[in-house]
Amino acid sequence: MSYFSYPNYQTANGYMTESIRKKYITYAIEQSLLPEQAHRMADVISLTAPNDDTKPIEFWQLYSVLGQDRIVKIVQAFYKRVYADEEWFRGVFARIGAMQRHVNSQAGMWIDVMGGGRAYHGGEYRLSFHHTHNAMDLMNDRGAERWVQLMRETLDDPDIDLTKDSRVRLSLNTFLHFFMRKYAEEFNLSNQGIFGEMNPPLRRKINLMRMNSDEVAALSEPELREVLSARGVDDSLYGSKSELVNKALRL
C-alpha cells in the first residue's frame, strides 16, 4: 500500500466538471461500478485524488495529480500521431486547423473535465457542436477505431509521464471509455473503444456494528450479501432482502 500527498495542483470546477461527474456517477451506479451512495461520498465527489492507493482516482480528480503541463503533453503527443497518419484521417483535422489548434481545444476540454477549472468555454454544447459539424466525417466506426488506436499508442508510449501512481492510467482509460461510449450512442457507432483496464468497482466500507436497524435496512441486497459473506455467512441460505436484513441485525 502506498500513500500520496495530493493535491499536487490546485483544483477547481470547470464548465463541464460537475455535469460530467454527475452523469458518470449515475452511469457507474447503474453498472455497479460505484455504490448507490456515491453522489454523497467525499472520496468520490472530491476534485482531489485519494491519497490511499487502494481507492481509485476518478477522472475529475486527474488534474490534482497530473496538472496542466502533463495533460497538454499527452494531447500534444496524440496529435503528433494524428498529423503523421493517413490522409483520410489526418485530413479531417487539417481542414479544421493547424495541429496546435486541436491541442489547445482538446487539452482545454480534458483540463476542464479533470478538475483544472474553466478551460473549455462553451462546455458540452461546444463539444457536441464540434463533433456534429467539424468532425462529422470521422464520427463513424472507421474513424473511431483509428482514434482509439492512436490514443492507446500515445498512452502506451513509455515517454509519456503519467507519474508513478499506477491508478492514473486506469482513470484515463475510464475517462476515455465513458466519452467513447457516449459518442457511440450519439452517432450509432459499434466501436466504443477499448483503452485497457479501467477503474475497479468501488465498494463502500460497511460496519454493521456501527449501524442502527434503519441504516442496515437501507442497504441494498448486493451490499447485504457482500457484507454477510465477508462475515462468513452463507448468504445463499437467505432468499429475500428482509431475511438478509434480519440476519445482519442478529450478528
Could you tell me the CATH number of the domain that includes residue 185? 1.10.490.10
What predicted TM-score, i.e. pTM, was given to this entire model? 0.82
As a 3-state breakdown, the chain gives helix, strand, coil percent values, each rounded to 5, of 60, 0, 35
Considering the domain architecture, whether residues 232 and 182 belong to the same structural domain is answered as: no
Label residues 117-138 b or e (16+ Cβ within 10 Å = b): bebbeebeeebeebeeebbeeb
Chain centre distance of CA 142: 24
Per-residue pLDDT of the chain (251 residues; tens, 9 = 90+): 567 999 999 999 999 999 999 999 999 999 989 988 899 999 999 999 999 998 999 999 999 999 999 999 999 999 999 999 999 999 999 999 999 999 999 999 999 999 999 999 998 888 887 778 777 788 898 999 999 999 999 999 999 999 999 999 999 999 999 999 988 888 888 866 789 999 999 876 777 888 899 888 988 887 888 888 888 899 999 999 999 999 999 98
Q: What sign does the CA torsion over 133, 137, 140, 145 have?
A: negative
Considering the domain architecture, whether residues 30 and 131 belong to the same structural domain is answered as: yes
Q: What is the distance between the alpha carbons of residues 94 and 137, in angstroms, rounded to a whole number?
A: 13
Considering the domain architecture, whether residues 91 and 169 belong to the same structural domain is answered as: yes
List the beta bridge partners of residue 116: 12
Looking at residue 130, what DSSP letter applies?
A: I
237: cell is 441460505
Considering the domain architecture, whether residues 232 and 168 belong to the same structural domain is answered as: no
Considering the domain architecture, whether residues 150 and 223 belong to the same structural domain is answered as: no
Considering the domain architecture, whether residues 85 and 29 belong to the same structural domain is answered as: yes
Considering the domain architecture, whether residues 123 and 246 belong to the same structural domain is answered as: no
Looking at residue 118, what DSSP letter applies?
A: S
Q: Give the domain extent around 165.
A: 1-205
Considering the domain architecture, whether residues 151 and 235 belong to the same structural domain is answered as: no
Kindly give, in sequence order, each residue whose CB lies less than 8 Å from that of residue 29, ignoring residues fewer than 6 positions away.
35, 36, 38
Considering the domain architecture, whether residues 92 and 183 belong to the same structural domain is answered as: yes
Considering the domain architecture, whether residues 233 and 125 belong to the same structural domain is answered as: no
Considering the domain architecture, whether residues 170 and 222 belong to the same structural domain is answered as: no
In the chain, the number of structural domains is: 2
Q: What is the distance between the alpha carbons of residues 191 and 183, in angstroms, rounded to a whole number?
A: 10
Considering the domain architecture, whether residues 77 and 19 belong to the same structural domain is answered as: yes
